[in-house]
Amino acid sequence: MIKILICGANGKMGQTLAKAAACADEMYVCAGVDKLPDAADNDFPVYADIFDCRENPDVIIDFSRPDALDSNLRYALMNGIPIVICTTGFSDDEKQRIKNASSQIPIFFSANMSLGVNLQMELSRRAAAFLGEDCDIEIVEKHHNQKVDAPSGTAFAIAEAINDALMAPKPLLCGRCTRSEKRGLEIGIHAVRGGTIAGEHSVYFIGTDEIVEIKHIAQSRQIFAYGALRAAAFISRMPAGLYSMADIITESAVTSVTKDDGQAMVTLSELKFSPETVAEIFTDIADAGIRLDIISQTMPHNGRVSLSFSLPRADLKRCLKVIAKYKPECDEIIEESSLSKLTVEGAGMKTQSGVAAKLFGALAEKDIGIFIITTSETNISFCVETSRAVDAIGVVAEAFCL
């Protein structure tokens, strides 16, 4: 179990994080730190000073304020504890101190803990590479009326991602209330504060007669809490260094699962083996205009193989007619007409072992059978009964925290 120390435990995000951690299987909050330690009713001790903490946390998650950075870093460095810094509004000097400390301990530092926002940053970077030189770029961020820094750290991070993609980085202009000249080459950044807005960021690429908008809306603080817990699990096993959400996205063995219904499968069992016969079978199918998907052949044994392939269900009857002439060459032709193909993808598959074991072990626990499998460096595709396809997606999502 990973023991978490929350800095800013009695703030709104600290309380949201504590509730999310209470539902987690492999971590729990052992203590908290807050300048008002009695402001909330917690089931863990909360200290006014981090150095008074008597517990031995495995990871610190900081949702406090920039002015707590020095004490939090000193405590983490003294005790060799990884720290997830979720606070924004740091100066350049404070960011440098974070970077310096990361040479001794693992530090996860992200302007926004949402995976969706980090995807927005990547899409904005790509849009800038394609459109940015010919467009005016504006960023509008909205947050609740208790947020103290403006513009948000996320807005600045988006602007940095955009500038990274431009040949000539643009200056940043936060608001225009004092300007009386026409717009220049800047990236405009604007802050709105009101009510209980959890977080909203819109990026506008404004050209002649067209506007491209990339928008992310956080509908609750839960997404930031889940992101912080995921970061804590990630950083707890990493060496010293500075990490961000991009590292989680890259490191994740599995990042998505998709479903394609309407599949079928055919197997020529114990087919008399010759390369010419196998080639002829596929040629006949291709000549009939039938597109095959996953293909599998067993190793030749005693002069025979089993040859299987998946195809669109709509082409099954036609395919069976085409290959009927090969019945004398095999024991039987087996058909399965109600399959769905699931494709599990993730760049981390290139470097991580055990993905297939975890995937098919999780499916086996739910008694979900696999009909045919194919793999590449970054994906695994397999067919299951259509009646179990939705269950299979849930199993994959749970196994890989999607």
12-22 and 222-235 helices cross at what angle (nearest 10)? 60
The token pair that represents 100 in the structure block: 């310096």
pLDDT category of residue 351 using cuts at 50, 70 and 90: low
Whole-model pTM?
0.57
Long-range Cβ contact pairs of 281-287 (< 8 A, separation 24 or more) = 281/307, 281/323, 281/326, 284/322, 284/323, 285/319, 285/322, 285/323
Q: What is the dihedral of CA 20, 22, 23, 28, to 10 degrees?
A: 100
Q: If DSSP codes are grouped into helix, strand and coil, which group holds residue 272?
A: strand
What's the CATH class of domain 115-218? alpha beta
Which strands form 136-143's sheet, in the order they lie side by side?
172-174, 187-193, 136-143, 199-207, 210-218
| DSSP annotation of 12 | H
| 229 closest CA partner among 22, 80, 87 | 22
Instruction: Label the pairing between strands 199-207 and 210-218.
Output: antiparallel
| 64 closest CA partner among 75, 55, 54 | 75
- Residues 80, 47: Cα–Cα separation, whole Å: 20
pLDDT digits (tens, 9 = 90+) for 303-314: 999 999 999 999
Task: Flag whether pLDDT at 107 surpasses 90.
Answer: yes
**DSSP letter for each residue of 94-122:** HHHHHHHHTTTSEEEE-S---HHHHHHHH
The one-letter amino acid at 351? T
The pLDDT score that the predictor gives to residue 133 is: 78
**Using H for helix, E for strand and C for coil, what is the string for 313-356?**
HHHHHHHHHHHHHHHHHCCEEEEEEEEEEEEEECHHHHCCCCHH
Quick check: 252 and 378 in contact, CB under 8 A? no
Query: From the centroid of its chain, how far is CA 117?
Result: 11
The one-letter amino acid at 394? G
Q: What are the sequence ranges of the domains in the chain? A: 2-109+223-251, 115-218, 256-399
Domain over 256-399 is classified CATH 3.30.460.80? no
Catalytic residue numbers, as ranges? 143, 147
| DSSP annotation of 301 | B
pLDDT category of residue 396 using cuts at 50, 70 and 90: confident
Task: Flag whether pLDDT at 99 surpasses 90.
Answer: yes
Which parts of 234-291 are beta strand (E)? 241-243, 256-272
**Cα atoms in the Cβ-side hemisphere of radius 13 Å centred on 211:** 10
pLDDT category of residue 252 using cuts at 50, 70 and 90: low
2-109+223-251: which CATH number, 3.40.50.2300, 2.40.50.140, 3.30.420.40, 3.40.50.720?
Answer: 3.40.50.720
The pLDDT score that the predictor gives to residue 249 is: 67
Residue that wins the pLDDT comparison between 25 and 99: 99
How many Cβ atoms sit within 10 Å of the Cβ of residue 174? 17
- Residues 332, 344: Cα–Cα separation, whole Å: 31
Radius of gyration of the chain (CA): 27
pLDDT category of residue 112 using cuts at 50, 70 and 90: confident
